Structure 1
Amino acid sequence: MKKIFALLVVAVLFVACGDESSSSAPATDPGEESSSSVEKTTESSSSAKPASSEDKQSSSSAKEENSSSSVVKSSSSKKDESSSSEEVKQSSSSVVASSSSVVGESSSSEYKPYNHQKVFSSDSLLSGAYKEFTDERNGRKYYYLTINGEDKDGNPASVTVMAENLNIGIDVAGGEDQVDDSKIERYCYNDDTTNCDKYGGLYQWAEAMQLPSECNAKSCADQIKPNHRGICPEGWRLLTYDDFYIVVHADGNDAGVKGVRAMGFGGHNYSGYSLIGAGYNWGYKFRNLNETTYWFYPEEGSLDKPAALSGSQSNSSTGNALQSIYKTHGTSVRCVMVE
């Protein structure tokens, strides 16, 4: 009986083995080798043998380990994120502190308007020679004075003139022309507006004259008027060579042009005119700040291309120069009261 039972068990096992062999997955069709890797992965997965009990336990154990590892990694990741978040917060706090520091520096070093009285001689200030005028167009105040002297014919003459360079207009970069005829345009030395505050603006000839910008490239002599106002305030006009002659030959000025220049510009300022080294824009390049200054007169000159008459001084000049320069250079402007 025991032998018969054993034989039956063997037979059952033999049949089971034969069934298992016949249920194995078929080989991949060679014609499907060009299919995408996603399709191959799906096919391979569907043809896999069912997992045995041991496999399932092993898989379950692996899942638990992976799950545990995932939890640990997740926890670690959260810690890292928390740490990263804390670092970001600290970094953000540092940036805010840095920004606050920058603002503090900017506030403490805020630009203070230039004190234009610095260039005047103390004698003139104490004697009350200087008065103040406000340009209603932009609210800027200018010191001015009346200078008594003699004209080119040796006759007594006087001129009431600004003791500072004019500063008005919309900023234009030094490498560009002043071509917008609908508004006053200016250069500030080195494109720095604080230089306009201290030294005044720099203007091409047509701009200073308030003539069409095309006058920088052609003659517009017929448009120059007596007492030509240009960009000066109402009631004022552009300085002429005759005006400057009176300034140089002011009463009590025995130093010539040195008596016209400010004390910080190689002069004595005996006349009170207070000329400073405003530099200039020559060929679209700023040059010689505190060393030289140019200004246009309302009069055309003669060169190989359109030019205008100009005065100039350096911190070592000994004469009153009158020359022609190109109209496209940027120079200072002084205004004289119309009387």
Structure 2
Amino acid sequence: MKKIFVALCMVAFLAACDDSSSASSGSNDESGGESSSSVVLGSSSSEKEKSQSSSSEKSGKSSSSVIDVSSSSVKSESTEKSSSSEKLSVTSSSSAGKIVSSSSKSDVPQSYAEAKVMPSGTYDCMKYKCASMEYLNHEFLEAGRYGEILDERDNQVYKTVQIGDQIWMAENLNFAYIGVPYTYYDDTSDSTSWCYDNDPANCTKYGRLYTWAAAMDSVKTGCGFDKTCGLSGIVQGICPTGWHLPDSTEWETLIAAVGGGLSPGEALKLQSGWLDDGNGTDAFGFSALPAGYRDILDGAFNRGGDFTVFWTATEVEYYACSVTLNYFNGIAFMGGFNKGLGHSVRCVKNE
């Protein structure tokens, strides 16, 4: 894997990613020995220091999992964020049709019907595109605890799960954001979203990897690679109608709902598929898979099988906040990433 300088969150940046957490100092990382820092979600300042130290000893790697951010490609001048308070319009889908009774499946949250989320198994997979059940929590499937939505844009069916007061997709987004050419120095592509290793089978398993501009739906929002877009409020982004790209605060809410502490990643990771048995308990049906990422400099795909990163809608100048899960510990990190990297997307239901 090409080793690139890691430009990491400074204290002010971390505060912007997550107002409730403080910056923590990490050890030297594997990409070049640069000092690093990141927010450990769900832990106190003292817990963060202990957890980063222990994870570094366990893995022999940096406790910071913010990766491959090229500082040379980011402008140094500060850009004031827009003060616009305009809220992007997001409406609930009316295409779900009649709600199927779930009286025989008492574990299905009652709020699913109100949220226009169908019970699992509503949509015929012979007619619509369904992801493989292999990559979900089988206990949740058998108990009927997943909901289901149809993305009318491409007839893709996604399982959903209620965690606390939020309803999340239980699978990574797999909507092909194409027709928007990507260029970064010598790396060019006819798309701003990709299947890992350019293999369609990986899109079925992991969903697609998006640049931050694609995740934010740059065609509509004007959010680009080398500027700040300064959006506020709910941002639908690349998500289906009635859903949106979660911001850092919504990720914090999720982390708190699964127990917080030093190992929220354990509760979010799938029970299989992670390197060296680095699987989780998947106690809440979130079923996070190690989707890897796409490099910004050469378009290489890295760390599939042991690492995953999810974009948030939160930005600070030329960086965007992401949440990282690793195979070698149960920690969840919030860090700043170059917007040109390819990361996964999970959508959350509008309230």
TM-score by length of 1: 0.56
Number of residue pairs matched by the alignment: 211
Distance 1:259 1:163 in 2: 13
Q: Counterpart in 2 of 1:315? A: 327
Does the 8 A contact of 2:177 with 2:214 survive in 1?
Answer: no
Gaps of 5+ in 2: 1-128
Larger RCO: 1 or 2 (CA < 8 Å, sep 6+): 2
Name the aligned partner's letter for residue 224 of structure 2. C
Distance 1:214 1:253 in 2: 31
Q: Counterpart in 2 of 1:258? A: 266
Give 3-state SS (helix, strand or coil) of 2:252's partner: helix
Distance 2:305 2:180 in 1: 20
Identity percentage of aligned residues = 28
Name the aligned partner's letter for residue 121 of structure 1. N
Give 3-state SS (helix, strand or coil) of 2:257's partner: coil
- Residues 59-88 of structure 1 show CA distances to partners (whole Å, capped at 9, x for unaligned) of xxxxxxxxxxxxxxxxxxxxxxxxxxxxxx
Q: Counterpart in 1 of 2:71? A: none
Q: Does 1:217 align with 2:232?
A: no
TM-score by length of 2: 0.54
Q: Counterpart in 2 of 1:142? A: 158
Does the 8 A contact of 1:170 with 1:186 survive in 2?
Answer: yes
Q: 1:252 to 1:129 in 2, by over 3 A?
A: farther
Distance 1:230 1:115 in 2: 22
User: Shift of residue 211 of structure 1?
Assistant: 2.0
Q: 1:237 to 1:143 in 2, by over 3 A?
A: same
Q: 1:170 to 1:263 in 2, by over 3 A?
A: same
1:160 to 153, 156, 167: 167
Q: Counterpart in 2 of 1:169? A: 176
Distance 1:274 1:142 in 2: 12
Give the alignment of 1:72-83 within 5 angstroms.
none
Name the aligned partner's letter for residue 161 of structure 1. W
Q: Counterpart in 2 of 1:275? A: 288
Q: Counterpart in 2 of 1:79? A: none
Name the aligned partner's letter for residue 169 of structure 2. M
Q: Counterpart in 1 of 2:10? A: none
Give the alignment of 1:201-216 within 5 angstroms.
201-212=208-219, 215-216=224-225
Give 3-state SS (helix, strand or coil) of 2:144's partner: coil
Does the 8 A contact of 1:209 with 1:230 survive in 2?
Answer: yes
User: Shift of residue 271 of structure 1?
Assistant: 1.6
Q: Counterpart in 1 of 2:303? A: 288
Does the 8 A contact of 2:291 with 2:304 survive in 1?
Answer: yes
Distance 1:285 1:173 in 2: 19
Distance 1:261 1:321 in 2: 14
- Residues 276-296 of structure 1 show CA distances to partners (whole Å, capped at 9, x for unaligned) of 001110222210111111121
Give 3-state SS (helix, strand or coil) of 1:242's partner: helix
Distance 1:323 1:253 in 2: 17
Give the alignment of 1:8-47 within 5 angstroms.
none
Q: Counterpart in 2 of 1:226? A: 233
Give 3-state SS (helix, strand or coil) of 1:215's partner: coil
User: Shift of residue 193 of structure 1?
Assistant: 1.6
Distance 1:323 1:144 in 2: 26
Does the 8 A contact of 1:312 with 1:320 survive in 2?
Answer: yes
Gaps of 5+ in 1: 1-112, 149-157
- Residues 189-235 of structure 1 show CA distances to partners (whole Å, capped at 9, x for unaligned) of 111122111110111111110125772011212xx231110010011
Q: Does 1:240 align with 2:247?
A: yes
